Amino acid sequence: MWRRCGDTSADYNYYTKRILFNSAYAATELFMLTDQSPQRFATWQFLGRRMGDIEALGRGISDVKVVGEALFDGALSLLNIFKTPTAY
């Protein structure tokens, strides 16, 4: 599915995307087994919520990355302040 969407990742994203998709797919299939709504309307709503959860998770991970990079850059700047000067 991801390849058909143009995904070419070869790192850890390859696995995380597939785990997220497969978990949403499996949960939706199980929900659909008990859905008695007309045209499986409740299943479509359930799937929409799962896709929203995955999207929110992606945004959260991105935010954590930004904060982590800022902390790392700040720590490096702090270390540079205390670096011993080189003799000329």
Instruction: Using the structure block, give the residue that is written with the tokens 């935010």.
Output: 63
Secondary structure class of 9 (helix, strand, coil): coil
Q: Above 70 in pLDDT, residue 82? A: no
CA 18 to chain CA centroid, nearest Å: 11
Instruction: Using the structure block, give the residue that is written with the tokens 């978990």.
Output: 23
Q: What is the pLDDT of residue 40?
A: 92
Q: What is the pTM of this model?
A: 0.60
Q: What is the pLDDT of residues 15-74, one digit of tens each?
A: 888 888 888 889 999 999 999 999 999 999 999 998 888 888 877 776 667 667 777 677
